[in-house]
C-alpha cells in the first residue's frame, strides 16, 4: 500500500500503524464485468430470500451501509455511509490474523476482503470476499445493540492469548482458501492443503483463549441466529452472504440450540455447512455471554494464571503491575506463591509502558536481552511500594544517589545504589539501580552488577496479562503478518471476450437501446462459451422485462431449462435466477 487513505472517515483515520499494515488498496478497476454480475446475482437472491428470514434491520441496513444491488460497493461510498453510524471500512488481502481482525472491530472498522468470489463459487466461498464482508457484516452494523456487541467483542478479543498453533492453523486455512479460489489450482495441491488444515485442527492441544473466543465469534457474528429456536432469524454474516446456506440452515436437520457459554465447546469447520446453529434471544444476551467468558481470561485474572498463559503462548505478551506499569515481551519464567506472582522474567526484546505508551528510554532496543523484576510488598512494608510517599521512601532508605537494601516478603533481595525513581499519576512505577545485586531466597543470583543498570518494576500484584505489546506501534508488531498472498489471475483472450459480453449486457440493462443487439451476444456465447449460464440469464431478464425479441427469449429460456435439468450443479442457481425474472426485486427499496 502506498499512501494511507482514511476516506475522510474518523474511525479509519484513528487506526494505529500496526493495523494499517494489513490494508490494501481496493483497485475498483480490477473488478471484471463477470464480478459485477456475480455481485448482482447474489444481492438480488439475498434480498429476495432474506427479506423473510433475516433479522429485520438487514434490508434497510443495506442502504445505511452504502450498498446497492447493481454494483460492487466502492470503499469511499461505504465509508461515507458507515461514518454516519460511527463506523468505517478498509480492504485487506483475504484472511488476516484473528487478533488483528478483533482489534479492527474494537476500532469500529469493518475489514473487507478486496477480492470477490469466482462464478463457480457463487453460492459459497471458503475465502473471505467482498460479498461476505460487505453484504454480510455491513447491513447489520446499523443496529446499535449489535454494533456495540461487535466493537466490545473486538476489545476483548484483542487481549486474548493465542498460541503458535493458532497462527499455524490460521496460515493453513488462509492457504487453503486462496487455493480454492484459484481457477486452475491443482487438485493434488488442494488435497495437501486440506490435509494440512485437518492435521493442524487435530493437533491444537488445549484450545487457547483466542481459539475459544473464535468459536464464540463464529457462532454469533458469522453464523448467529436471533429469536427463539422455534422461530429464528438470521443475523450472522456467514449466513447472510451465502445464498446456499442461508436457505439450508433453516431446515429441521440443522439443530437450533439456545446460545450460552457452552458454545465454546463446539469447534467449527469453515469448509462445510454447520450441523448446528445457536439462537440468542437478544443482542444484549450476547454481551452477557461474552462477559461470562471474559471473566475467565488472563487479562482479567492476572497473577500466576495469567503468566502461565503468557509463557505457554510463546508470543509477545504484556504483564500489568498494580502500579500501572506494563511489561511487554516474551515471558519465559516466573515464580509464584499462593496464586500471586513474586517474580517475572522475559527473554529477548522487552519494552516498558504506562497507559499503553512506551516509557522514554525503555523500548525494546534498550531492554534487548530481556527484563526481570520482583513483584509484591517489602517484608517490612505496611502498604504497597507503589503507594509510598516521599517520606515513606526516605524512611525505607530509598533515595536517589544512596545505597538501598530492599527485602521483599517473597525472600527476594535487591541491593544497590538508587539511580532514579519514576512516578506516574503519583504512583511509583520503576526504581533504577546501579551496582545492583538481586538474589532470591535460596541466594541464587537473579541480577549481577556487571550486567549494568537494574530497572526494577514496582507493583504489589500482576493484575492483568494479555497477548501483544502495550504500545503496539512503538513495539512494531509485524511478525504475524502472512507471507501468502491471494491469487490474481491473468486473463486469457477467451476469458477477456467473455468479460466483454457481460459488459455489453450490463450496458444494455443500464442504457436500454437496441435489444436486438443481445442476439449477437447470445450467438457468441453459444459459439465460444457454451458453459456459461449467468450471462444467458441476464440477457433473458432484460428481454422478458422489456417484452423484446420473444423468439430469442424463448431460445435462451429453453437453453437454461435444459442446462438445469441435465447439470445438477447449476439447477438451483438457474431455477432461482428464473424465479427472480418472474418475481423481480424492487430495487428502489434498497438502492
Per residue in 76-100, pLDDT tens? Answer: 999 999 999 999 999 998 878 888 8
Q: What are the respective helix, strand and coil percentages of the chain, to the nearest 5?
A: 45, 20, 35
Per residue in 305-364, pLDDT tens? Answer: 999 999 988 889 999 999 999 999 999 999 998 889 999 999 999 999 999 999 999 999
Pairing of strands 276-280, 255-258: parallel
Pairing of strands 357-358, 403-407: unpaired
Which residues, in sequence order, are CB contacts of 381 under 8 Å at separation 6+? 396, 409
Asked whether the beta carbons of 116 and 129 are under 8 A apart, the reply is yes
Q: Which regions of the chain are under pLDDT 50?
A: 1-2, 479, 589-591
Cell of 52: 423473510
Question: Helix, strand or coil for residue 290?
Answer: helix
Cα gap 7→9, rounded to integer Å: 5
Angle between helices 283-294 and 209-217 (to 10 degrees): 170
* Residue pointed to by grid coordinates 440477457: 539
Cα gap 317→468, rounded to integer Å: 5
At 126 the pLDDT is 66
* Residue pointed to by grid coordinates 544497590: 416
Spell out the long-range contacts of 581-587 with Cβ–Cβ below 8 A and sequence spacing 24 or more.
581/537, 581/540, 581/541, 581/544, 581/545, 583/48, 584/545, 585/44, 585/47, 585/48, 585/69, 587/68, 587/69, 587/70
At 95 the pLDDT is 79
Question: Helix, strand or coil for residue 213?
Answer: helix
Question: What are the phi and psi torsion angles at 360 (to 5°)?
Answer: -60, 130
Cα gap 256→250, rounded to integer Å: 9
At 100 the pLDDT is 87
Cell of 292: 461470562
At 387 the pLDDT is 96
Cell of 523: 450467438
Burial status of residue 473 (CB atoms within 10 A of its CB: 0-12, 13-18, 19 or more)? middle
Cell of 540: 433473458
In sequence order, the β-bridge partners of residue 331 are 346
What's the start-to-end Cα distance of the chain, in Å? 31
Asked whether the beta carbons of 181 and 117 are under 8 A apart, the reply is yes
Task: Using alpha carbons, list the distances in angstroms from residue 364 to 328, 432, 538, 569.
Answer: 9, 17, 59, 56
pTM: 0.85
Amino acid at each position: 500500500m502506498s499512501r494511507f487513505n482514511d476516506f475522510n472517515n474518523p474511525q479509519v483515520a484513528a487506526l494505529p500503524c500496526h493495523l494499517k499494515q494489513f490494508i490494501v488498496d481496493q483497485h475498483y478497476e480490477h473488478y471484471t464485468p463477470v464480478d459485477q454480475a456475480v455481485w448482482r446475482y447474489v444481492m438480488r437472491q439475498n434480498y429476495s430470500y432474506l427479506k423473510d428470514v433475516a433479522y429485520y434491520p438487514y434490508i434497510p441496513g443495506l442502504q445505511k451501509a452504502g450498498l446497492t444491488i447493481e454494483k460492487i460497493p466502492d470503499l469511499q461510498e461505504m465509508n461515507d455511509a458507515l461514518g454516519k453510524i460511527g463506523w468505517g471500512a478498509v480492504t485487506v488481502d483475504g484472511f488476516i490474523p484473528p487478533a488483528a481482525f478483533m482489534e479492527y472491530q474494537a476500532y469500529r472498522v469493518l475489514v473487507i476482503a478486496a477480492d470477490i468470489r469466482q462464478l463457480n463459487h457463487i453460492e459459497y466461498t471458503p475465502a473471505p470476499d467482498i460479498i461476505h464482508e460487505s453484504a454480510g457484516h455491513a447491513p447489520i452494523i446499523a443496529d446499535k445493540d449489535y454494533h456495540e456487541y461487535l466493537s466490545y467483542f473486538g476489545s476483548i478479543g484483542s487481549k486474548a492469548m493465542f498460541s503458535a498453533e493458532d497462527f499455524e492453523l490460521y496460515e493453513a486455512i488462509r492457504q487453503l482458501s486462496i487455493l480454492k479460489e484459484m481457477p486452475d489450482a491443482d487438485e493434488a495441491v488442494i488435497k495437501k492443503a486440506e490435509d494440512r488444515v485437518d492435521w493442524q485442527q487435530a493437533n491444537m492441544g488445549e484450545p487457547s483463549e483466542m481459539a475459544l473466543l473464535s468459536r464464540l465469534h463464529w457462532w454469533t457474528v458469522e453464523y448467529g441466529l436471533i429469536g427463539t429456536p422455534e422461530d429464528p432469524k438470521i443475523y450472522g454474516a456467514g449466513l447472510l452472504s451465502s445464498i446456499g446456506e442461508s436457505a439450508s440452515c433453516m431446515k429441521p436437520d440443522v439443530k437450533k440450540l439456545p446460545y450460552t457459554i457452552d458454545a465454546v465447546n463446539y469447534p467449527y469447520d469453515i469448509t462445510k455447512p454447520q450441523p448446528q446453529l445457536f439462537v440468542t434471544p437478544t443482542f444484549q444476551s450476547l454481551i452477557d455471554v461474552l462477559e461470562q467468558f471474559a471473566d475467565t481470561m488472563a487479562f482479567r485474572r492476572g497473577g500466576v494464571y495469567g503468566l502461565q498463559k503468557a509463557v505457554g503462548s510463546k508470543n509477545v505478551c504484556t504483564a500489568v503491575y498494580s502500579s500501572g506499569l506494563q511489561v511487554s515481551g516474551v515471558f519465559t519464567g516466573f515464580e509464584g506463591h499462593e496464586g500471586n506472582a513474586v517474580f517475572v522474567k522475559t527473554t529477548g526484546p522487552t519494552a516498558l509502558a504506562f497507559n499503553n505508551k512506551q516509557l522514554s528510554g525503555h523500548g525494546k532496543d534498550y531492554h534487548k536481552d530481556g527484563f526481570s523484576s520482583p513483584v509484591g510488598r517489602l517484608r517490612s512494608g505496611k502498604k504497597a511500594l507503589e503507594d509510598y510517599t516521599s517520606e515513606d521512601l526516605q524512611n525505607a532508605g530509598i533515595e536517589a544517589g544512596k545505597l538501598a537494601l530492599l527485602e521483599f516478603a517473597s525472600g527476594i533481595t535487591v541491593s544497590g545504589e538508587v539511580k532514579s525513581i519514576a512516578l506516574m499519576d503519583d504512583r511509583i512505577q520503576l526504581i533504577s539501580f546501579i551496582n545492583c545485586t538481586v538474589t532470591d531466597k535460596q541466594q541464587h543470583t537473579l541480577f549481577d552488577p556487571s550486567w549494568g543498570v537494574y530497572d526494577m518494576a514496582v507493583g504489589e500484584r500482576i493484575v492483568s496479562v494479555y497477548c501483544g505489546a502495550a504500545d503496539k506501534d512503538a513495539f512494531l508488531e509485524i511478525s504475524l503478518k502472512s507471507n501468502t498472498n491471494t491469487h490474481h489471475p491473468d486473463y486469457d483472450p477467451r476469458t477477456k471476450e467473455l468479460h466483454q459480453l457481460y459488459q455489453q449486457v450490463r450496458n444494455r440493462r443500464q442504457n436500454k437501446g437496441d435489444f436486438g443487439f443481445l442476439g449477437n451476444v447470445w450467438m457468441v456465447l453459444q459459439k465460444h462459451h457454451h458453459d456459461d449460464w449467468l450471462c444467458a440469464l441476464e440477457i433473458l431478464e432484460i428481454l422478458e422485462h422489456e417484452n423484446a425479441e420473444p423468439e430469442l427469449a424463448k431460445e435462451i429460456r429453453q437453453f437454461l431449462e435444459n442446462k438445469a435439468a441435465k447439470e445438477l450443479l447449476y439447477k438451483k442457481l438457474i431455477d432461482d435466477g428464473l424465479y427472480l425474472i418472474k418475481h423481480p426485486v424492487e430495487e428502489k427499496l434498497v438502492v
